[in-house]
Structure 1
Amino acid sequence: MPASEPPAGCGPVDYGVPHVAIIMDGNGRWAKNRGWPRLVGHRRGAERVKEIVRACPDLGVRWLTVYAFSTENWKRSTEEVLGLMGIFARYIEKEADGLSAEGVRMRFIGARERLDPKLQALMAGIEARTAPNTRLNLTVAINYGGRDELRRAAVRLAEDAAAGRIAPDAIDEAAFAARLDTAGIPDPDLVIRTSGETRTSNFLPWQAAYSEYEFTPTLWPDFGPAELEKVLAVFSTRERRFGGAKA
């Protein structure tokens, strides 16, 4: 059963999780369980994003990265893909004013070239409009695949080396990370996957190398701020050693 919403009047609390990444899974199943079309679940999922975005600052989260559409999702039906793209466009148009007013900076990662030019323009516009904001950094992965991102970063690095902009012996982890889509964004402390699946699905393989993971059976449209807070509270009890020995 999904967690109930937090009671009104609860004050801010910091669980020590500055960056949360979420694989938002289960929209289709949520709708199917109710006898509704899959796109109804995706629309409800978009509403959940808005609720989670608003809850994050009061929970100490300063960076939120969400997996909206993978490079593999093109395999879905044309109807579903077009519907999803429409939902993305409407979300950006509808939420632009609210995100800006609430101090949210919005960015996108992934290969944009395959996306509709109008959607690309909307993405670039909201990125520019919200760039000065610092209360919450929201990163949305659209047409994103971790292996594809690594490939593209390797191409950039090879081009820079061939052009003499970087010496081969100067290539280190920092040089490679600077050519990823997430350059300038800290690695996630916690990755959450909803819907009961326990795979990472090609999401942030480089960045999440030392992240903690939490897999919840809750379908994304049912994953509210109260459940996010419970997950953060569990995370705060974990000891992260990054390869070091336990003290």
Structure 2
Amino acid sequence: GQTRKRNVNDVLETLKNDDTEGARNILVRVDFNVPMDADFKITDDSRIRGAIPTIDTILKSGNNAILMSHMGRPKKVQSGEDADGSQRKALSLIHVLPRLTELTKADVRFVDDCIGDKVAAAVAELPKTGGSVLVLENLRFRKDEESNADSFASGLASIADAYINDAFGTAHRAHASVSGVPALLPKEKCGVGCLVASEVAYLDFSGLAEGEKVAASKYSVIWYGT
């Protein structure tokens, strides 16, 4: 049988047993790649709602949640061709804050970078009593995310007391936030979130499809149950 993945509760229990006092900062890879209208209002919040059980679990344990995600494909930002800043504005994760605040009913903060001094300062200001959420800027604004650069993964890992992956849709990617960060932290302080755990529970079957992108409308899917 498949070895059970450590989940967010396992990781929080591990943290409870060490000697560190005060709230811990749990770095969570979420998938907030949500659709928005021309006024940057979210038109489908299902991905945000999917992350709430994990976020709530962390906050209720007396810790802080640092959320990181990508949004879209900001190629102009990466290449320095976004001269007027329009792509950076359109794909900023700052747009998820209003809905995230409504859903968590928590203190939700934002920092407009992923690593570096500005991020370190924002993390240092998180309350020692826990209960706050810090959203990092779009990971893909830096090309080092997709190339899984060691320096970028190290920068992310440096702000984390533990790591949780709750982004099932990107769990297969060899990106810094997915595979680079957990490789730099103790394995007992890494695990999966509630959404990923529930998705994995349904993987008692497998299928094989060929092609770069698979559209449900073009393929008949045959399920082989076990």
Whether these two folds match at TM > 0.5 is no
TM range (shorter): 0.3 to 0.5
Higher helix fraction: Structure 1 or Structure 2? 1
- Alignment TM-score, normalising by the size of structure 1: 0.40
TM-score normalised per structure 2: 0.43
Highest RCO, 1 vs 2 (Cα 8 Å, sep ≥ 6): 1
